[in-house]
Amino acid sequence: MDDKPDLRNQFLKLAQGRLIPLDNDPFWCEFWTSPSDASDIYNLRDLQNIRDQNLPNFLTLVRRCCENIILEARSGVSHRKELLNSVRLLTKLLPLVYELPSYVSRIEENLFWRSQYDFAFLTPRRRKKPLLLNHGVASDSSGSLPKSIQFGTLLILSLVELLFTDKLTVDGPNWRTLGEYILWQAGLGGNSNATKLNYRYVSNRSEILRLLLTLCSSPMYEKVTQVVSSGSRFLNVLLSDLPKPACLSLVFSCFNFMARNSKPLASGADGDKEVLSEAQMTCLMMAGQLVALMISYPVPSETVSGRSQRGMNKTKLFFSKLNTQLELMFLVSNLVDIMRTPLEPHNSESGAVSYSESPSPAILSSIVLLWELYQCNSFVRGLLAKRYLQKAITALLFHVYSFHDVAQHAHSCKVATYFLLAISTDKPLVELSIFQMTEGLLNLFPPEFQTRSPMSLRDFFIVYSCQLLNAITPQSGGKISRILESFREFLWFSFTEMLYNIVPVLNSDIKASSDVSLRLSNINHEGGICYQACQSLNSLVSLFSNREFLRRSSKNAELLSLLIRAITVACCKNPQASSCLLMGILENESMYQSISSVLKFFDDEHLRNEIRVLERLQEEEESSVSMDSDVELMVSDSELDTDQGSIISPVDSAESPIVGSRNNSVISTNTIPNTQLAEDALLELALRPNFPCGMSLKAQEKLPVDATLRMSWGGNDALQVICAIIIPGLKQKLDSCWSNRAELRFDKYYISKQIELCKFDEVLKEHEHMIPYDALPFTRSDCLKISWNDLSLGWYTSMLYWDIYNAYDLMRISIKQGISIMGSLSSSISILGRLASSWVGNTGQPNNNPDALLQEYVKQGLLQSNPWANTLLKLYQNHAETGSFAPFGIKFGDNFTNSLVRKVSGLRTGSRTSVATTGLEEISERPKALKRASVSSIHSLNSLNRARSYTPRNSFST
């Protein structure tokens, strides 16, 4: 849809050279009275150029939109259309203000936090009198708000009040009359009797929630290293200055809506429910995102009495003190249910069982909320341990297992992985995970997520973690997706660190079973690792010890050392419980023995590379000496620099794992070509836990500079225990039971029982002096724990903001999954029929069908583009690619129906735009470079504006 002429002309006037006063009501009011629906505003083009041509007018428009919202909130919303248009317009304009380089230093304070506004701070000449905040915005009939309140605080308070306003977002008296806020739905807080959704209210709530999220999105325009220190002033107000009843009502309402409306409506053949479902999912996503942002927000530090102190997050403080059993169960159960959406089976009319193809659009919000509650509330931690541990961990694991290579879910998979890593450091939870999983839960899983026999949650996690790591590691010459290529190293290290944490853990309350019919599926002593999990671990050792895998990156040797150390610690601390693990080592003796030869190969290769470098330097030196000294060589400075560069870095062979393995925590500025790579390297270090004894930076610094890999590798001692103690000791204890197992036809179950009864701990005690200290039975096992700091918190916050940025895409995918082109065609035909009816209605008989009017109202408020698209975000770079195509100007797939109806609507209104041209002009759902149409007009712009040339803007890469 093209820009509406009246609104477009207003923006053209805004871009002219003259400054328009703040009190010019007829001019400013046109911006929120002329648009008829959301598309008139969200489809506006070329606003960056208008902003750059006349920044004072642009900022004055932002200020007037804020004032109009505050006025409507204080008056009880007498003009609903004007209010919603002001909300939409402010949502559209704010990202263009945030991206300005001078926003924090010059604009923010004057525009949002002063009651007296004057754009003289942008102009060389100051006005005679400052323009005051007029219309009585700072006063209130009830006198409850002080006149000295900051303008930005008043804006936040007004938006929160609008979310609880009668006939706009709720049914019932306003909070001023009732003295309390009416919640949207029953649940937390519990003072609401609403049972059925009012989709008009849902649409209006979505508009206001979107603006609240946009107001709090200024950190998107900061680097990840500055997110925590800078923060968002609007978010600070939401967490600290908002009255407690308003803050709690907002959080309760958002969470209740999120919990009770997590499943989209079933789309009918006529497509009617699709519009309502989109409105429901939009409100669901933004409600969850706002609550997740509020509870997880790291409030910036403040200077108090000369000392820097971290600010207080009052929302998190409230949830940390929540102890009502029913409310806690409501919280945890609904969050887990949202996370388990792809694991819930659906029975069709034919009796076939199907599963959702994508997670809930609120998946990241659910993960963040559950993680924050797990960290801050001990009662939630206890409830999770007793009732929801198996469901929560399997849901998190399945999310990463199934969607790690999907671009839209990469950020939620990263947070889920980090949450699992945090749980793996909680020893009481890990001990509880050693109990057997319930068969009812296992039988509900999709076929690709089921096991051959019952097992504990810990063993289940080990099996599918190893499968995941094997799946993301291509064989020699194999190809992987670009998304997975940037993500797999994170998965390698995170899941290997989890295995390091959970493999040695046992539970003394678990008794071994000896049912002959179960064979290797019997429960081991103290819940030791089952045989299937041991096989998975050995397959992962085989992968990590592969020569090509170690050659691929200098860090991969650390993965192998962590895994070898975990297996050794488990075997040495309790050999009786680790009988299956010990048998797996015996079965794979050749693999463990060959690891030493692989390390020796890399040592020899590194030595050969150094010899080649020395030989080349010697040859160059000899050739330079043998030159005729009488010949004067004219060498320019540039040539000298180039020649020196070729001598300084002569090694062109593959990267050796030797140097990187010893210096994984050291960032060399010589190897980082720019600031971005340096920040990425710092962020990578901040996200990784401190390595155990012998692998830490302090331990590596004590090694000689020329130490070989076999000397510096962190798994040397553990591998020596396996090869020199465990394997010979087991053979000696088992004697003919192992050596003649084929002739005697001893099966694996019998051998594992012999290992369990052979008193192998005597062998370990005899060689105690050769076993590393952390593997001894009486020592405490190390855990690789997450270390929170400004960088890791900044990364964590950036994942939430990426979810907010990508909300439109996630919502559309969740709604349209499973809808084929033919289904879209049938829906389109039905909509075309309604359009034909409306044509007849234009002759004098309007369509008064309540359902049709509701559909039209909700559709007018739907977001059709990303408000942050084509702005210069600094927080991250999106490399996603669109998966749709647009032949003949009609976009098949997600937007097929809307695209087709838009073309027919254009025919109805007499539009002469061709179908192909219209398709090219549509706003993309994903951020990418778009060529914006010029807003220049010879009738409305002055000569300066007419003389400007089109300059394409930078847009962040997708």
Q: How many CB atoms lie within 10 A of CB 706?
A: 10
Beta bridge partners of 166: 170
Residue whose C-alpha is closest to residue 393's, from 373, 417, 357: 417
End-to-end CA distance of the chain: 24
Is 781:203 a contact under the CB 8 Å cutoff? no
User: What is the C-alpha to C-alpha distance for residues 637 and 593, in angstroms, rounded to an integer?
Assistant: 54
What is the rounded (10 degree) CA torsion for 102, 106, 111, 112? 100
User: What is the C-alpha to C-alpha distance for residues 552 and 449, in angstroms, rounded to an integer?
Assistant: 30
Q: Which long-range contacts (CB under 8 A, 24 or more apart) does 893-897 make?
A: 893/816, 893/821, 894/812, 894/813, 894/816, 894/925, 895/812, 895/922, 895/925, 896/821, 896/824, 896/825, 896/828, 897/271, 897/274, 897/824, 897/827, 897/828, 897/831
CA angle 396, 401, 404 (to 5 degrees): 100
Residue whose C-alpha is closest to residue 338's, from 315, 293, 370, 316: 370
Residue whose C-alpha is closest to residue 390's, from 436, 354, 338, 421: 436
- With a CB cutoff of 8 Å and minimum separation 6, the contacts of 346 are 353, 354, 355, 356
- pLDDT value at position 709? 65
- pLDDT value at position 861? 78
Is 302:379 a contact under the CB 8 Å cutoff? no
Is 161:76 a contact under the CB 8 Å cutoff? no
Phi, psi of 309, rounded to the nearest 5 degrees: -125, 140
Say how many CA atoms lie within 13 Å of 378 toward its Cβ: 1
Is 434:506 a contact under the CB 8 Å cutoff? yes
Residue whose C-alpha is closest to residue 188's, from 334, 320, 313, 286: 334
Using DSSP's 3-state secondary structure scheme, residue 885 falls into strand
- pLDDT value at position 889? 31
Is 461:502 a contact under the CB 8 Å cutoff? yes
- pLDDT value at position 623? 65
- Using CA of residue 818, residue 824, residue 830, residue 831, what is the dihedral sign? positive
Is 188:247 a contact under the CB 8 Å cutoff? no
Residue whose C-alpha is closest to residue 510's, from 462, 456, 459: 456
| Extended strands (E) in 457-599 | none
Is 17:944 a contact under the CB 8 Å cutoff? yes
Phi, psi of 525, rounded to the nearest 5 degrees: -60, 130
Structure-token pair, residue 757: 């009864």
Pairing status of strand 353-354 against strand 301-304: unpaired
Whole-angstrom Cα Rg for the chain: 32
What is the rounded (10 degree) CA torsion for 272, 276, 279, 284? -140
User: What is the C-alpha to C-alpha distance for residues 496 and 694, in angstroms, rounded to an integer?
Assistant: 17
- Tell me the H-state helices in 163-198: 175-178
User: What is the C-alpha to C-alpha distance for residues 56 and 77, in angstroms, rounded to an integer?
Assistant: 28
Residue whose C-alpha is closest to residue 459's, from 411, 507, 425, 419: 507
Q: How many CB atoms lie within 10 A of CB 126?
A: 10
- pLDDT value at position 162? 93
User: What is the C-alpha to C-alpha distance for residues 413 and 393, in angstroms, rounded to an integer?
Assistant: 13
Using DSSP's 3-state secondary structure scheme, residue 762 falls into helix
| Extended strands (E) in 153-300 | none
- pLDDT value at position 665? 37
Q: Which amino acid is at 819?
A: I
Say how many CA atoms lie within 13 Å of 644 toward its Cβ: 7
- Tell me the H-state helices in 325-409: 325-339, 363-376, 378-383, 389-403
User: What is the C-alpha to C-alpha distance for residues 421 and 367, in angstroms, rounded to an integer?
Assistant: 13
Return the exposure string of 464-477: e unless at least 16 CB atoms fall within 10 Å of the residue's CB, then b.
Answer: bbbbbbeebbeeee
Provide block-wise average pLDDT over 10 residues at a time, the chain (958 residues): 67 86 89 88 88 92 94 86 94 94 91 80 49 42 53 94 90 63 84 71 94 95 89 91 88 92 59 77 93 92 57 87 92 94 79 82 95 94 94 95 89 95 95 90 84 88 95 70 79 95 94 87 91 94 90 86 94 93 93 87 60 59 54 42 34 38 37 57 82 76 67 85 93 86 83 90 91 89 87 92 87 60 42 45 51 82 81 69 31 36 37 30 31 35 38 36
Structure-token pair, residue 848: 């008064």
Q: How many CB atoms lie within 10 A of CB 518?
A: 13
- pLDDT value at position 122? 64
User: What is the C-alpha to C-alpha distance for residues 179 and 166, in angstroms, rounded to an integer?
Assistant: 13
User: What is the C-alpha to C-alpha distance for residues 335 and 330, in angstroms, rounded to an integer?
Assistant: 8
- The CA-atom distances, in angstroms, between 475 and each of 77, 547, 778 are 63, 12, 41
- pLDDT value at position 656? 41
What is the helix (H) or strand (E) element at residue 346, kind and residue range?
strand 346-347
User: What is the C-alpha to C-alpha distance for residues 880 and 22, in angstroms, rounded to an integer?
Assistant: 41
- With a CB cutoff of 8 Å and minimum separation 6, the contacts of 531 are 520, 580, 583, 584, 748, 752
- pLDDT value at position 79? 87
User: What is the C-alpha to C-alpha distance for residues 884 and 899, in angstroms, rounded to an integer?
Assistant: 12
Residue in the structure block whose two tokens are 């050769």: 770
Return the exposure string of 729-757: e unless at least 16 CB atoms fall within 10 Å of the residue's CB, then b.
Answer: bbeebbeebbeebeeeebeebebbebbbe
Number of H helices, E strands in the chain: 47, 4
- The CA-atom distances, in angstroms, between 401 and each of 280, 425, 471 are 28, 21, 10
Structure-token pair, residue 409: 């879910």
Q: Which amino acid is at 428?
A: P
Residue whose C-alpha is closest to residue 501's, from 783, 901, 910: 783
Beta bridge partners of 303: 308
